[in-house]
Amino acid sequence: MRQRVLTFLRSETILIVATLLAIISCFIVPPDGQYGGYVHVSTISQLVCLMLVVVGFQRIGVFRIIGSSLLHRVHTARGVVLTFIALTFISAMFITNDVALLTFVPFALAVLVMAHMEDKAIIVCALMTVAANTGSMLTPVGNAHNLYFKALTGMSTGHFLRIMAPYSILAAVLLVVVTCVVFRGRRIAEFDGMDSKGFERGVLAPDPTRHQPDEIKVTGYGAGYGGWRAIVYTGVFVVCVLTVSDMVPLWVMCAVTFVAMVVCDRGSFRHADWALPLTFIMFFVFIGNMKRVPEFAGIAQAFVGQHPLEVSIISSQIISNVPASLLLSGFCDQWVPLIIGTNIGGMGTLIASMASLITYKNYTRQYPRQKGRYLGVYTAVSVMFLLLMYGLAVIIE
- The tens place of each residue's pLDDT in the chain, 397 residues long, gives 666 666 666 667 778 888 998 999 999 999 888 888 888 888 899 999 999 998 888 888 787 777 777 777 787 888 889 999 999 999 999 989 998 998 899 888 888 887 788 889 999 999 999 999 999 999 999 998 999 999 889 899 999 999 999 999 999 999 999 999 998 777 776 666 555 565 566 555 545 555 556 665 666 655 555 678 888 999 999 999 999 988 999 999 999 999 999 998 888 898 888 888 998 899 899 888 988 888 887 877 887 878 899 999 999 998 889 888 988 888 888 999 999 999 999 999 998 998 898 899 889 988 888 989 999 999 999 999 999 999 999 999 7
Of 310, 192, 241, 276, which is closest to residue 46 (Cα–Cα)? 241
Rg (C-alpha) for the chain, rounded Å, is 21
Structural contact between residues 47 and 275, judged by C-beta atoms closer than 8 angstroms: no
Phi-psi region of 125 (alpha: psi -120 to 50; beta: other; left: phi over 0): alpha
Based on the structure, what is the number of domains in the chain?
A: 1
Q: For residue 259, what is the DSSP state?
A: H
Instruction: Report the distance separating Cα 106 and Cα 272, nearest Å.
Output: 19
Interior CA angle at 383 toward 380 and 386, to 5°? 155
Q: For residue 347, what is the DSSP state?
A: S
Judge whether 53 lies within some domain: no
275-290 vs 294-306: helix crossing angle, rounded to 10: 110
Judge whether 392 lies within some domain: yes
Structural contact between residues 352 and 387, judged by C-beta atoms closer than 8 angstroms: no
Structural contact between residues 138 and 159, judged by C-beta atoms closer than 8 angstroms: no
Judge whether 154 lies within some domain: yes
Q: For residue 85, what is the DSSP state?
A: H
This prediction has a pTM of 0.87
Full residue range of the structural domain in which residue 93 is found: 62-221+273-396
Please, which contacts does 356-360 make with residues 24 or more away whose CB atoms are closer than 8 Å? 356/101, 356/129, 356/133, 356/382, 358/98, 358/101, 358/102, 358/105, 359/101, 359/105, 359/125, 359/126, 359/128, 359/129
Instruction: Report the distance separating Cα 359 and Cα 393, nearest Å.
Output: 27
**Residues in the chain, overall count:** 397
Judge whether 247 lies within some domain: no
Judge whether 167 lies within some domain: yes
Instruction: Report the distance separating Cα 281 and Cα 75, nearest Å.
Output: 47
Structural contact between residues 167 and 337, judged by C-beta atoms closer than 8 angstroms: no
Judge whether 117 lies within some domain: yes
Judge whether 268 lies within some domain: no
Interior CA angle at 271 toward 98 and 269, to 5°? 120
Instruction: Report the distance separating Cα 283 and Cα 324, nearest Å.
Output: 10
